[in-house]
Amino acid sequence: MPNLLVKPKGDKGRVTYVTPQNAGWTYVGFDLNRVKAGETVSGETGDREVCLVWVSGKGETSVDGQDFGVVGERMTPFEGAPHAFYVAPGAAWQVTAVTDLELAVCSAPGGGGFKTKPIPAGTHPQMTRGKNTNTRYVTNIMPEDDNAAHSLLVVEVITPGGHTSSYPPHKHDEDNLPAESFLEETYYHRLNPSQGFAMQRVYTDDRSLDETMAVEDGDVTLVPKGYHPVAAIHGYDLYYLNVMAGPSRVWKFNNAKEHAWLFTGV
């Protein structure tokens, strides 16, 4: 199994490149592009569907030659709602940065005839999830109930320093609906201030997979299976962008039984 912690390669251009081939799995792809104002990033979807997420910055956007104008608003992922764009299979897209731009390219197998469309900021309001030191702030970008894609599920989360997230531990690694769905998942992490770090553990019940990672600003963690809780360290807020996909576009998870008692307080 590949290393579950993917470090960015440099600080300019396509700094992260996760494919089903290099991740050793089947569905999820994730690229992260960092470009300066005036520079262009582009791609073709082929037989996959893509969700472009403006992590920060603004860019002139076109798909198959159709101009959608300037997309994006926030200058950091810790302020404001995300702008995003669903790009259907068989399309070519292009974004020319108006400001410094951090653009995530989330992909999964396409199908179903879904159409290219913008996903404006505020399409899905931010939600507060959890209580006390398990409080975090969740903004769906492409949730399962929006009937807008064949495979992709995309969401971003902000976890305050000293809080936990994706917790109590849960998993979605069995194709056994309606009890549980199988979904591969990536976490793209950002820290505020950027010199901070957070902790993420990925483990299975039998501990055949059991890795604990210190994640730094710009890191990606891969979750091929198992539970995957996150802890934000005191003094450093954590942002992460999740991409999930599997044989069914359904997020049905199961919690670790030994931690079920926590639900009375979180």
pLDDT in tens, 33-73: 999 999 999 999 999 999 999 999 999 999 999 999 999 99
Q: How many other CB atoms are there within 10 angstroms of residue 67's CB atom?
A: 9
> Residues near 257 by Cβ (< 8 Å), separated by ≥ 6?
none
Q: Answer yes or no: are the C-beta atoms of 51 and 149 closer than 8 Å.
A: yes
Q: How many other CB atoms are there within 10 angstroms of residue 193's CB atom?
A: 10
Q: Determine if the peptide bond prior to 2 is cis (ω within 30°).
A: no
pLDDT in tens, 163-179: 999 999 999 999 999 99
pTM of the model: 0.96
Q: How many other CB atoms are there within 10 angstroms of residue 208's CB atom?
A: 10
The span from the first CA to the last CA of the chain, in angstroms, equals 33
Structural domains present in the chain:
9-264 (2.60.120.10)
pLDDT of residue 263: 78
Q: Answer yes or no: are the C-beta atoms of 154 and 107 closer than 8 Å.
A: no
Please identify every stretch of the chain with a pLDDT value under 70, giving residue numbers as ranges: 1-2, 264-266
pLDDT of residue 264: 66
What CA dihedral angle connects 247, 253, 258 and 261, to 10 degrees? 180
Closest among 93, 24, 90 to 54, alpha carbons compared? 93
